């Protein structure tokens, strides 16, 4: 038989036993204990604030902080002993504080504070640190992409649309396309951090603090940029969790798309890339195989983050105002998503920094039919409308196919003139991959100058961090 709700922060109202399954269903300590340091920091700041309004004496605050430091060391060293009724990190820390400094002083810690504003504060403090760490990891990934782009700027390859060879590009241009996606993610993360970094502490259960604590000073002590201005919203808001889950999902989507490209390019049919052994595995049956499991896992784990976002949105959509227990479902998806995203960014960094490229195979994959647009552009420069030149270029491609030629570059001058009389001998200058690439010199293009301009912009971005 379970004992009554002793040692619970809410236990005075209840005398009956708690169903063991209900206790297991209700407890969040197995996963929210990772916030132990945030919970201790929040309690220190709050008790300092209550001392200023006469709830605690200076000596009591000193003793509380001493006890909290001991608790922090116990969590850090793995010696904290969890008790049966420690339903969450807040209950566990307050119970242990009473054992260390006595319940008379420890019992004053929660004056005017609710677990509603306490947990919201802990989460914001915890994820703020996590997001700063992830930002550093994202910057490292960006640096790898830009560094390779700079060092391998002379490597040419096919660019694809619909997975069909389209136009020649620089390998660097492809790398920088993903760097551009991730740079946008970096900007979104900074904007997200600003909304995360607001303090709910002092909002109480929902209606505010009855003892006149200085919420602005508490926020400043905890490194928050501001306070949430409405106490009802402060305890019930989980938009920041949704934003984190969305941000994780978008980053993982970008990493997944990069992974898909690299999986294809590392196949024997392409042979453009070769992953290092550190990020590959073999087959249990076929000894010749080298599988790109790192990239496949990156692609697969994107679905995990998408699922966490969708699941929590379903939880949140019908929760009434302020705090409801449904909101306890915020932590597991958020913690899991943050870990998945952090690990994925680091794995992607490792894969990209160690892979080898096969410049010869990339070059060999360039085919003259990819210059059909250049052929059309050639006539445009002679004053022919593009819609007409597009048709003329298509005629050249069709004729080369009918004659079983390797490409349109093998058509004779007479054959070109048979298609259109406006062709002249300089048409043969069109069939040069490097020249084709260099003609794409507008901002964001694939020419050397345009790629170097992109790299320069990234290097200026990095200097800001």
Positions annotated as catalytic residues are 162, 283
| Residues 274-279: contacts with CB under 8 Å, at least 24 apart | 274/355, 274/356, 274/357, 274/358, 275/351, 275/354, 275/355, 276/351, 276/354, 276/355, 276/356, 278/350, 278/354, 279/347, 279/350, 279/351, 279/354, 279/355
The tokens describing 194, both together, are 């600003």
CB 315 within 8 A of CB 222: no
Q: Are strands 226-227 and 273-274 parallel, antiparallel or unpaired?
A: unpaired
Between helix 372-380 and helix 386-402 the angle, nearest 10°, is: 140
Task: Classify the phi-psi angles of 168: left when phi > 0, otherwise alpha if psi is within -120 to 50, otherwise beta.
Answer: beta
| Total Cβ atoms within 10 A of residue 108 | 18
**DSSP code string of 409-444:** GGS-HHHHHHH-TT--GGGGGG--HHHHHHH--STT
Give 17's strand partners: 4
Q: Which of 180, 186, 175 shows the shortest CA–CA distance to 137?
A: 186
- Residue in the structure block whose two tokens are 């509603």: 116
Q: Quick check: 236 and 330 in contact, CB under 8 A?
A: no
Six-digit token string for 283: 């087959």
The dihedral region occupied by 155, where left means phi > 0, alpha psi between -120 and 50, and beta the remainder, is beta
Q: How many residues does the chain have?
A: 465
Measured CA distances, 79 to 73, 74, 87, 101, 431 (Å): 8, 5, 18, 18, 72
Separation between Cα atoms, residue 138 and residue 244, nearest integer Å: 15
> Where are the alpha helices (H) located in 197-292, listed in sequence order?
215-221, 231-236, 239-265
Kind and range of the H or E run holding 357 = strand 356-357
DSSP-assigned states of every residue in 148-210: HHHHTTT-EEEEEETTEEEEEEEHHHHHHHHHHHHHHHHHHHHHHHHHHSEE-TT-TTTT--T
Residue of 323, 195, 176 lying closest to 247 (CA atoms): 195
């Amino acid at each position: 038989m379970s004992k009554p709700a002793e040692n619970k922060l809410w236990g005075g109202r209840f005398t009956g036993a708690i169903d063991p399954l209900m206790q297991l269903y209700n407890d969040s300590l197995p996963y929210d204990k990772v916030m132990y340091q945030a919970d201790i920091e929040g309690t220190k700041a709050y008790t300092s604030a209550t001392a200023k309004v006469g709830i605690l004496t200076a000596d009591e605050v000193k003793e509380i902080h001493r006890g909290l430091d001991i608790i922090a060391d116990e969590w850090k060293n793995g010696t904290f002993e969890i008790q049966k009724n420690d339903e969450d990190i807040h209950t566990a820390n307050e119970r242990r504080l009473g054992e260390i400094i006595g319940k008379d002083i420890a019992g004053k810690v929660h004056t005017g504070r609710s677990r509603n504003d306490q947990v919201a504060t802990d989460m914001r403090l915890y994820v703020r640190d996590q997001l700063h760490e992830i930002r550093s990891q994202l910057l490292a990934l960006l640096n790898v992409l830009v560094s390779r782009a700079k060092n391998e700027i002379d490597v040419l390859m096919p660019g694809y649309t619909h997975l069909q060879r389209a136009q020649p590009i620089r390998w660097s241009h492809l790398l920088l396309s993903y760097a551009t996606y991730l740079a946008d993610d970096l900007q979104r993360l900074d904007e997200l951090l600003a909304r995360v970094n607001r303090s709910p502490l002092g909002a109480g259960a929902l209606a505010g603090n009855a003892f006149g604590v200085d919420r602005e000073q508490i926020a400043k002590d905890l490194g928050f940029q501001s306070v949430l201005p409405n106490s009802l919203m402060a305890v019930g808001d989980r938009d920041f969790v949704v934003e984190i889950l969305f941000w994780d999902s978008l980053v993982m989507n970008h990493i997944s798309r990069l992974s898909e490209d690299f999986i294809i390019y590392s196949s024997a049919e392409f042979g453009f890339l070769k992953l290092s052994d550190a990020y590959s595995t073999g087959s249990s049956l076929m000894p010749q195989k080298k599988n790109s499991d790192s990239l496949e896992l990156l692609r697969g784990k994107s679905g995990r983050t998408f699922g966490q976002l969708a699941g929590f949105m379903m939880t949140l959509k019908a929760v009434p105002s302020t705090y409801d227990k449904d909101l306890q479902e915020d932590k597991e998806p958020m913690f899991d998503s943050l870990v998945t995203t952090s690990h994925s960014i680091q794995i992607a960094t490792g894969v990209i920094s160690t892979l080898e490229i096969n410049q010869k195979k990339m070059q060999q994959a360039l085919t003259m039919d990819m210059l059909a647009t250049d052929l059309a552009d050639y006539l445009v420069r002679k004053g022919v409308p593009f819609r007409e030149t597009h048709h003329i270029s298509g005629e050249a491609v069709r004729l080369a196919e009918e004659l079983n030629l390797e490409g349109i570059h093998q058509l004779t001058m007479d054959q070109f003139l048979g298609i259109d009389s406006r062709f002249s001998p300089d048409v043969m200058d069109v069939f040069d991959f490097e020249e084709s690439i260099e003609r794409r010199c507008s901002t964001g293009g694939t020419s050397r100058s345009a790629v170097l301009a992109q790299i320069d912009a990234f290097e200026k971005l990095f200097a800001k961090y």
